Structure formats: structure tokens, C-alpha cells
Amino acid sequence: MDQDRDTLAAQLDREHVFHSWSAQAALAPLVVAGGLGSRVWDHSGRTYLDFSSQLVNVNIGHQHPSVVAAIQEQSAILATIGPATANLTRGEAAKRIAARAPAGLNKVFFTNGGADANENAIRMARLHTGRDKVLSTYRSYHGNTGAAIVSTGDWRRMPNEYARGHVHFFGPYLYRSEFWASSPEQEGERALQHLRRIIESEGPSTIAAILLETVPGTAGILVPPPGYLAGVRALADEHGIVLILDEVMAGFGRTGEWFAFDAHDVTPDLIVFAKGVNSGYVPVGGVVISDAIATTFDDRVFPGGLTYSGHPLAAASIVASIDAMAGEGIIDNAKKIGAEVIGPGLSELAEKHPVIGEVRGTGVFWALELVADRATRAHLPAALMGRAKAEMLGRGLIPFISDNRIHVVPPCVVTADEVAEALATYEAVLTLLDEEL
């Protein structure tokens, strides 16, 4: 009977569901019926260790009881209400988010997710400065709406380039340096000089914003070198440019901090969030706004809005998530397990397996960059990455695969025993890849 439900789920998916970023004909998605903590299962009861956190968003783990209860309780009180109203749960959610932001960022504009949060942050920056251009990196992903997808640097922007005023540049990535750097410090310095030249060449008076993922996620979990973000902040200040930090993937525990920029001694003008703020239990995102930018719209209409902005079910899930993260030490767990278990475990794998070119990351936000040859750093071929994914799924582990990388991104509640289980799976699969090479 349960196996029949798995079959029916797969059949209905094939017949009626159109999937994102995919050619549809060959798809055979994993059937998921339920989950708890760091695990999910199908209708037949086969369990999987979720080291993808789905789309790197289930930071608090699947089915956290206090978050589920908060959504249920709110639905019984008021399931929905328009954004023009004042609602206590919405206000409490905004208060908690602002409390985790730096001083001077006190207002929150709620959206439906990360893409439209970036969209509205860009709108705010343009209206605040009276300028048009937005600078962002080639190695980035900011979402799949008009300006957000064109701000994105990877291949997904190319079929979607309909928005105006976007300029791309290279951020730091020492392992594949665009700047012939040989140390993190040198990479940071040269990347900043490159950005300075881009600003000068584009004309500072034309640039509204620099938009950066604090730690680029899908592009490779590229933790910025010391001083880089502070240097970007200084360039933005020098030229009156708004600094937007996209914390959609990196925020709310993923790096072992409330916000990833907390580890880099920098304060943005606008903070974009989504994903981890409530682990995706209800779709939500938003922008935390500096006082200076918020004041721009005190007597001027902000020309943006969404029917579901500040939806009460989403707000309730945010309140419960932030309270649970604080009360249960979830952020601290992410930091500790990254430093003491995941990082050392992945480094040990790198010593044993030539297919690993580099290990990098922080918190529960890590990448194994796989190569066909360590000397040339040639990418591991896509066919072998596909095999690696299939082998991991076959062993009961859901991986996050991007390009030639395995992203190690479990929920922030992951335990040392679960990490050990995942490391054993990686070990087995990496051994197969070594043999193929």
C-alpha cells in the first residue's frame, strides 16, 4: 500500500508537475512523504539523511515541533490578512529580525522569498540614490525574477536578460583566482582593486548598488578573504553607493552566525533574507532596511508591494524559528559542529582522495571541489558528478551537487553521529571516483 503511494506520487509528478531549471522528459525526482530533523523518508519508509537541507534552507531541520505548532496556532487565529494592516505576529517577526541586525537597521519589508527580496532591495537602492546601475559578481545567484536573475552571474541569467543597468565583476576565489593571487590576502587586495577599476570605468555617479552574497552559495561556498567585505564597504562609502548583502542562503545560522557578515566586521545598507529565517516552512523573505534608506520613503511613496507581504503564517513561523534558534543553541551548534566535526572530517577526506581539489567552508556551509587532476585543477566531468549523486542517493544520503562540487550543507541541528554517517558515505563514493580516474 505504501509502495503504491510512492508510485502514485511519482506518476502524478510526471503527469502534472513542471519542474524548475530542468528538461522535463528524463526527470525522476525522489519521492518524499515526511521528515524530522536531518532526515526525510518516502511512503515505503526508506529514510534519507538530508545533507542538502533541500535548497540549503531547512536550517532548523524538518518538522521542528515549535515551528509547526506556531503555524497551526496562527492558522486557527487568523490564516491571512492584507499587508496594509497592522498585525501583532508580523510586528513580532520584524522586531526579532531587526534585533539580530546591526544598529541602524530597524525596518523590515517582507516578501514572498529571496528573489523578490533582492528585487525590492535593488528598487530601494535605485530610488534612494537616483542612480541606475547595479554591480554584482559573476559567481553569484540572486533569484529568478527580473532584476534578480540579471544580477545573477551564472548561466541562468543568459536566457533571462531583460532587466537593464546590470554590470558584473569577479569576486575573490583563490582556488581559481582571476588575479594570479597566491594568498588570501593578495586575492582580497587584487579583487578590491579590480572592483575599484570597474566602479571608475562605469562611472561612480551612475551606480546605485553593489549587490553581493556575503558568502556565495550555489556558486561554490566562497568564504571571502579577511578584509574583502570591509574593503567593499569602504568603496561603497567613498562613492555614495548602497551596499546590499544577500544573506538568503548564508543567513540565520548557516555559517554559524546569525548573519554571515557578523564574522566580517561590516554593516550593509540593506540585508536580503529568506530561506533560514523560518527554514522554508512557509514561503517568506524580506529586506532589512537602514534608517537612512527607510527615511527616504517617509514622505515619498515606495512603489512596491505584494499581496502576501508579511503573511501571518509566515510571520508566526519566523517568530518560532528565531526563538527556537536562540533558546536551543542552534546557531552555536552549527558553528561548533562545523569547526570540530565537519571541517576536520572533510579535510581528512581530502588527504586520502586525489579527486578532492579543495575543501572550504564554515558552520554547516561547506564545499568539496572535485577535480579530474589536482595539478591542472580540471573540473571533474559532469558524468562522474552525476554518478556521484546517484551513488549517494543509493546509499541513503541526499546530496547538494553544483557544477563540480559536493556542497555539504546539513541542517544547523545536525549531530556529530549524523555527520559521521554522511562522511562514511562520502568516503565510499569518493573512493569510486578515485578508481574511475
In CATH terms, is domain 65-327 a member of 3.40.640.10?
A: yes
pLDDT at 2: 81
CB 310 within 8 A of CB 87: yes
Q: How does strand 133-137 pair with strand 105-111?
A: unpaired
- Residue 72's contacts (CB-CB under 8 Å, 6 or more residues apart) are none
188 residue type, one letter: G
- Do 194 and 173 meet the contact criterion of CB atoms below 8 Å apart? no
CA–CA separation, 104 and 10 (whole Å): 49
Strand order of the sheet with strand 166-169? 105-111, 285-290, 270-273, 242-246, 207-213, 133-137, 166-169
Q: Which residues in the chain land under pLDDT 70?
A: 1
* Alpha-carbon torsion angle 213, 214, 216, 217, nearest 10: -100
Integer Cα distance of 283 and 272 in angstroms: 15
Which stretch of DSSP H or E encloses residue 109? strand 105-111
d(CA 356, CA 430): 8
Inter-residue contact 17 to 31 (CB < 8 Å): no
- Which residue in 248, 256, 231 sits closest to 120, CA to CA? 248
According to DSSP, the β-strands at 365-373 and 378-379 are antiparallel
H/E element holding 149? helix 146-151
Delimiting residues of CATH 3.40.640.10 domain(s) in the chain: 65-327
pLDDT of 20-43, one tens digit each? Answer: 999 999 999 999 999 999 999 999
Strand 47-50 versus strand 39-41 pairing type: antiparallel
Strands 207-213 and 166-169: unpaired
> 32-63+329-436 belongs to which homologous superfamily?
Aspartate Aminotransferase, domain 1 (3.90.1150.10)
CATH 3.90.1150.10 domain range(s) in the chain: 32-63+329-436
Non-local (6+) Cβ contacts of 136 within 8 A are: 142, 151, 152, 153, 166, 167, 168, 169, 210, 211, 212
What is the C-alpha to C-alpha distance for residues 329 and 343, in angstroms, rounded to an integer?
A: 20
In this structure, are residues 370 and 391 in contact, taking their beta carbons and an 8 Å threshold? no
80 within 8 A of 313, measured Cβ to Cβ: yes
> Do the strands 105-111 and 285-290 form a parallel or antiparallel pair, or are they unpaired?
antiparallel
Taking the C-alpha atoms of 60, 66, 71 and 76 in order, what is their torsion angle to the nearest 10 degrees? 180
Query: Length of the chain, please?
Result: 437
Q: Which pLDDT score, from 0 to 100, does residue 437 have?
A: 87
Q: What is the DSSP track for 129-173?
A: HT--EEEEESS----SSHHHHHH--SGGGGGG---SSEEEE----
Instruction: Tell me how far apart the alpha carbons of residues 65 and 76 are, in angstroms, rounded to a whole number.
Output: 17
Q: Alpha helices, DSSP H only, in 180-290?
A: 184-202, 228-239
The rounded distance, in Å, linking the Cα atoms of 177 and 47 is 40
Alpha-carbon distance of 35 to 41, in angstroms, equals 6
pLDDT at 1: 58
User: What digits encode the pLDDT tens for the residues 322-364?
Assistant: 999 999 999 999 999 999 999 999 999 999 999 999 999 999 9
CA terminus-to-terminus distance, the chain: 43
Calculate the average pLDDT of the chain. Answer: 97
